[in-house]
Structure 1
């Protein structure tokens, strides 16, 4: 495995002394250029992890290190240069009157020179397919277009890690697919680590690794295929598995063999069925 970029060391957090712990002795690592999906039932601590990573919150116990730097009030502005976040509702992130103003905002705060800003606005809007909307007012964009601009705004500050906190939840399936395809391409080009916090199983299966949260603790972490083989265990903590894996089980119960254990999507299932039954 490559070098560690993020380290959670026995992190615990609660929003007030009267409330229960949202995270309890939570430990995990995320590596350079890795794509990690964080999943769990509502209230399991997923979004709290995102806010802790970005310095919007600070742990009451334990340590969080980003690229070797501890996240605290003294380091928060340096941390936010390393970690960019895209939220569920992009309207909450817009501050500019036009698309180009919004992409420029983060760079202005960090003292980028004008020439660099112009180059980065053009490059990053092109990367997400929004180069023709420079002077468009953000509120005139569709939901998917707004998320593309939000992603471009984060990319413009050149972070080492991007967090998508339910960033596709408000989009239809086609819009979600487009955004995740864009994010995947951008990640490869920019050597980004990517953390996706999501309920969308089609996003989860694309990740290199999955961290499953349950009641504030890391319940399991492994590759998507290994995680989704634990169907009954996942259901016991309120999570589901990909439809293709469920259908494969039903086919086998009906006497139709499937080559691969637990296909993650319909392409894999069709390939398995074709491979097996083309020989018969």
Structure 2
């Protein structure tokens, strides 16, 4: 059984004493090497969860445990070594005048020796396909390239958990696919726990597990197939389902019955081929 890397225990949060609760009594675990997707409509509490994991916010009620440490003022810097975040707009994360300076910044703050820094800069930029841009000024990069550098900057500090908070939202479909392919490869290579907070259903179906947030509470928690089987319920709380799921429903309504509800194009084609083979 995999070790718990993050534990939320009855966590509640609000942005001010007179404000409504953004999160109410939220409890869940994240495991080592797991890919967890967190989804929900705007205002459901997704991004607040990400900031709580990284110690950018602290809960008013409950507790958060990261790799055995409770998140508080005393543990915050240790926590941030373990949990790296990439935000929606990479421009907000750039601090260096060149790509390599930016990747080095977090390591410099942690006192990592120069020789080790050079090694990690080369390794992380190579991992995200940006080695040849190491002397480029960040503002000259495309959106996808900037996001790759932001990911490299986080990976350079060797976190145990990588959080992508709507990190592909500003990219076109091709850019999203490339970034998530890179992230998936990096996760496998570095044995990271990956948490994606996203509206992109293509990302969600790739995750091992999905948490659905609604009005500050956990609405459901299951593997993607079980989540998207609840199509009507998801629509009622303002969420979409994958296009192939909608298409499969239309085919079933037309008498073309696919036994296993598909999550992606490959599974839909496989279901149609199996049906064809029987006729």
TM over 0.5: yes
After TM superposition, which residue ranges in structure 1, 4 or more long, deviate above 4 angstroms? none
SS at match of 1:259: coil
Deviations 1:209-266 (A, max 9, x none): 0000010011110000010001111111111111101100110101112131x21111
Cα distance, 1:267 vs. partner?
1.3
1:64 aligns with 2:64: yes
1:23-34 pair list within 5 angstroms: 23-34=23-34
Q: What are structure 2's unaligned runs of at least 5 residues? A: none
Partner of 1:90: 90
CA distance, structure 2, for counterparts of residue 182 and residue 175 of structure 1: 11
Separation (CA, whole Å) in 1 of partners of 2:263 and 2:249: 12
Paired residue for 1:256?
256
Alpha-carbon distance in structure 2 between the residues aligned to 1:132 and 1:259: 48
Deviations 1:132-169 (A, max 9, x none): 00100000000000000000000000000000000000
Query: In structure 1, what is the equivalent of residue 48 of structure 2?
Result: 48
Deviation sequence 1:110-142 (CA, Å, 0-9, x none): 000000000000000000000000100000000
Aligned to 2:146: 146
CA contact (8 A) 1:259 1:273 kept: no
After superposition, residues 36-185 of structure 1 pair within 5 angstroms as 36-185=36-185
Secondary structure class of the residue paired with 1:205: helix
The TM-score normalised by the length of structure 1 is 0.99
- Aligned residues: CA RMSD: 0.6
Distance of 1:239 and 1:8 partners within structure 2: 24
Instruction: Name the CA distance, whole Å, in 2 between partners of 1:275 and 1:140.
Output: 49
5+ residue gaps, structure 1: none
Residues 10 and 25, structure 1, Cα contact 8 Å, conserved in 2: yes
Alpha-carbon distance in 1 for matches of 2:30, 2:175: 27
Tell me, in whole angstroms, the C-alpha distance in 2 between the residues paired with 1:152 and 1:79: 19
Give the match for residue 247 of structure 1. Answer: 247
- Hey, what's the Cα distance between the residues in 1 that align with 2:60 and 2:213? 19
- Equivalence map 1:4-43=2 (5 Å): 4-43=4-43
The equivalent residue for 2:202 is 202
Give the match's secondary structure for 2:278: coil
CA contact 1:8–1:28 (8 Å) conserved in 2: yes
Q: Distance in 1 between matches of 2:236 and 2:28?
A: 23
Tell me the alpha carbon deviations over residues 151-203 of structure 1, each in whole angstroms, 9 at most, x when there is no partner: 00000000000000000000000000000000000000000000000000000
For these two proteins, the number of residue pairs brought into alignment is 279
